[in-house]
């Protein structure tokens, strides 16, 4: 059986499973659509949360970025894992105790204002659409290579699949679908990692293989070999960073704090019966997440070793099959700058601008780009970082069924998070804007219909953003975390831990934090990408890390405005007390 046939079988079976679960668990009420009825078991919810959390950025892009960034890529590992711990311990139990459907629900009630609720919805939509762009981009990449279609067509197919099980099943359907997706995803990530660890080091545990000696007789460990080979190619050492300490700190902090403000993850803690279950499900989710996150550095290192050995100083006419497979989908390319017909990997850009191909070939048979070669760079190979995990089994010549499994896993990662984000967007529009703000008299049936229509519209917008993303998957997702850190996190944090914050302060803080962060990212990534260099960044902070400055602006503006505006009503203080103090604690203190 051919590898392509196996891919069709694995992907087809996984899609049939997801759609079958959605039909079986179809939501029949708004409570089931928004929070799965609030009765999900903590272990089940932990697995679903892990799938929701580990998006295409985690499965597809993170190891690819680490493979090429080396030490600098560790910011994604530190920020995302640390952020999840912060969310689990600092916010999730309190929000579950509040007991509503959405994050704007909490903000609107805590800050006693429909305006605050509306601003929270706007923040949520900005965050979610930025995040979902990365997921749909990941879907398009997987389809483009493994199902042999254009990236744009792959995005459209992904939109159709998500439409079926997200719009039909709501949170109830998504929860059980995500459990299945987690199983597919983690199996697809660990199996090739174990295979490749054995091939490169003889150690079956990838986490230990990262520090083991390479099976090439050199006596070097994996990281020593990478340092040596990359420095010979003109790169910096793999284990040494090039980013400034300030930027590393800000990116890590923005990812960490942004995690604690992500609405599609927070809403998962509304699906369990009680606050103590929220803590338990958070703990289980951390276990399930750790299986992938502790493996990612090893996957990145193995992928870079195999990539270097397979491509560098190889004649183009002798290029391995995996190279030509991905080249056909415009995700890897070669420009023969010195005319020797040999592929050379070196530091610097292979091409200037986006990789838009012309239908012509160069003197050595390579496909030419519409852009000029990278000025002053000896690098001849362009590689999209998002393909490294997906191409890794092919580069290592693993069996066809492993390649098919990785294809199914990559789709599971992207689709699981995309579905969760779409549900958050639909709930924000139907429940927070329509039901709670503009049409409180709407029936439950009408609200459920509006939620499904909102999800349908969101899928169309998400597809557009997936076709025209402003960066690699993990970069786009990092922007979403920055927006969450600068907008929702301060409002949620102050809403839980201070009684004095009023609606005027919260609204002013959210607007200022979101506006600053969005404009900063948009300027360097959309309006003036040529200016996106460290010399032009504010305090040397990149767009990926600017969310932490937006957060400080949010806190500062909120506190200042609150000092010059009326304090919140007394019942708000009672609400905060109810959320923060365990049941029975007050009576115990009084006695």
The enclosing H or E element of 358 equals strand 357-361
Q: What's the mean per-residue pLDDT of the chain?
A: 79
Domains plus CATH for the chain?
A: 3-303+397-470 (1.10.4160.10), 332-383 (no CATH)
Confidence category of residue 215, pLDDT binned at 50, 70, 90: confident
Q: What is the pLDDT of residue 502?
A: 94
**Cβ-based burial of 233 (10 A; exposed 0-12, middle 13-18, buried ≥19):** middle
3-state secondary structure of 167: helix
Is the pTM for the entire model greater than 0.75?
yes
Structure confidence at residue 2 as a pLDDT band (50, 70, 90): confident
Which of 246-255, 457-466, 553-562 holds the top average pLDDT?
553-562
pLDDT at 27: 53
* Residue positions counted in the chain: 591
User: Taking residues 446-451, what's their average pLDDT?
Assistant: 76
CB-based contact 387:363 (threshold 8 Å):
no
Q: How far apart are the C-alpha atoms of 100 and 432, rounded to whole Å? A: 11
Please state, in angstroms and rounded to a whole number, the distance separating the CA atoms of residues 9 and 28.
Answer: 32
Q: How far apart are the first and last CA of the chain?
A: 74
CA distance 377 to 494: 49
**Predicted local confidence at residue 41, as pLDDT:** 75
447 versus 206: which is more confidently predicted? 206
Residue 526 has pLDDT above 80, yes or no: no
Distance CA 158, CA 418 (A): 10
**CB of 285 closer than 8 Å to CB of 50:** yes
For residue 131, give the DSSP letter. H
What average pLDDT does the segment 141-169 reach? 73
Main-chain phi, psi angles of 448, to 5 degrees:
-65, -40
Angstrom distance (rounded) from CA 298 to CA 228: 17
Spatial CB neighbours of 543, under 8 Å, sequence gap ≥ 6: 479, 482, 520, 521, 524, 525, 532, 537
Closest CA to 501 of 105, 107, 101: 107
pLDDT digits (tens, 9 = 90+) for 23-72: 776 655 555 555 444 557 778 888 888 877 777 777 877 888 888 888 88
Report yes or no: 556 and 502 within 8 Å, Cβ to Cβ.
no
CA dist list (Å): 451 to 27, 216, 431: 12, 57, 8
Q: Which two tokens stand for residue 564?
A: 């010059």
Nearest to 262 by CA among 477, 510, 554: 477
Higher-confidence position of 555 and 76? 555
573-586 confidence digits (pLDDT tens): 888 888 776 554 44
Judge whether residue 362 has pLDDT over 50: no
Q: What pLDDT score was predicted for residue 548? A: 93
Q: How confident is the model at residue 520 (pLDDT cuts 50, 70, 90)?
A: very high
Residue 95 confidence (pLDDT) above 70: yes
């Amino acid at each position: 059986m051919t590898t392509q046939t196996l891919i069709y079988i694995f992907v087809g079976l996984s899609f049939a499973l997801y759609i079958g679960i959605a039909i079986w668990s179809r939501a029949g009420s708004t409570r089931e659509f928004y929070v799965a009825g609030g009765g999900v078991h903590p272990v089940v919810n932990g697995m679903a949360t892990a799938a929701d959390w580990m998006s295409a950025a985690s499965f597809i892009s993170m190891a690819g970025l680490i493979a090429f960034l080396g030490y600098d890529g560790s910011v994604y590992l530190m920020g995302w894992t640390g952020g999840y711990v912060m969310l689990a311990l600092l916010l999730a139990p309190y929000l579950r105790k509040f007991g509503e459907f959405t994050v704007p629900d909490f903000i609107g009630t805590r800050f006693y204002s429909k305006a605050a609720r509306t601003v929270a919805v706007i923040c949520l939509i900005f965050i979610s659409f930025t995040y979902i762009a990365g997921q749909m981009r990941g879907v398009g990449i997987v389809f483009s290579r493994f199902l042999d279609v254009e990236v744009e067509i792959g995005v459209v197919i992904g939109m159709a699949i998500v439409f079926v099980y997200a719009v039909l099943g709501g949170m109830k359907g998504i929860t059980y679908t995500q459990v299945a997706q987690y199983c597919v995803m983690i199996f697809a990530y660990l199996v090739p990692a174990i295979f490749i660890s054995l091939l490169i080091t003889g150690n079956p545990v990838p986490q230990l293989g990262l520090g083991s000696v390479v099976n090439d007789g050199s006596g070097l460990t994996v990281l020593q070999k990478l340092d040596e080979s990359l420095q010979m190619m003109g790169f910096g050492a793999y284990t040494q960073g090039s980013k400034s300490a300030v930027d590393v700190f800000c990116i890590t902090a923005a990812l960490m704090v942004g995690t604690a403000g992500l609405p599609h993850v927070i809403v998962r803690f509304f699906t369990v019966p009680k606050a103590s279950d929220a803590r338990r499900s958070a703990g289980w989710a951390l276990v399930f997440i750790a299986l992938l996150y502790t493996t990612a550095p090893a996957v990145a290192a193995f992928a870079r070793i195999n990539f270097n050995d397979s491509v560098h100083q190889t004649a183009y006419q002798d290029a391995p099959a995996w190279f030509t497979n991905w080249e056909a989908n415009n995700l890897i390319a070669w420009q023969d700058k010195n005319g020797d017909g040999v592929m050379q990997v070196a530091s610097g850009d292979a091409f200037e601008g986006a990789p838009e191909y012309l239908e012509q070939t160069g003197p050595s048979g390579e496909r030419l780009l519409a852009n000029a070669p990278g000025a002053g760079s000896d690098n001849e190979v362009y590689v999209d970082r998002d393909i490294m995990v997906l191409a890794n089994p092919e580069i290592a010549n693993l069996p066809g069924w492993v390649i098919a499994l990785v294809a199914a896993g990559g789709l599971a990662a992207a689709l699981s998070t995309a579905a969760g984000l779409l549900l958050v967007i639909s709930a924000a529009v139907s429940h927070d804007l329509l039901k709670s703000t503009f049409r409180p008299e709407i029936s439950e049936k009408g609200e459920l219909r509006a939620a499904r229509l909102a999800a349908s519209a969101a899928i169309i917008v998400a597809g557009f953003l997936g076709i025209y993303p402003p960066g690699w998957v993990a970069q786009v997702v990092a922007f979403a975390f920055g927006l969450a850190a600068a907008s929702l996190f301060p409002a949620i944090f102050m809403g839980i831990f201070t009684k004095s914050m009023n609606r005027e302060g919260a609204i002013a803080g959210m607007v200022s934090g979101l506006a600053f962060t969005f404009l900063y990212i948009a300027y360097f990534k959309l309006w003036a990408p040529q200016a996106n260099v460290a010399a032009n960044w504010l305090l040397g902070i990149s767009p990926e890390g600017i969310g932490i400055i937006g957060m400080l602006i949010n806190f500062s503006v909120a506190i200042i405005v609150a000092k010059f505006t009326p304090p919140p009503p007394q019942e708000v203080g009672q609400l905060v007390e109810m959320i923060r103090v365990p049941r029975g604690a007050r009576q115990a203190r009084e006695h």
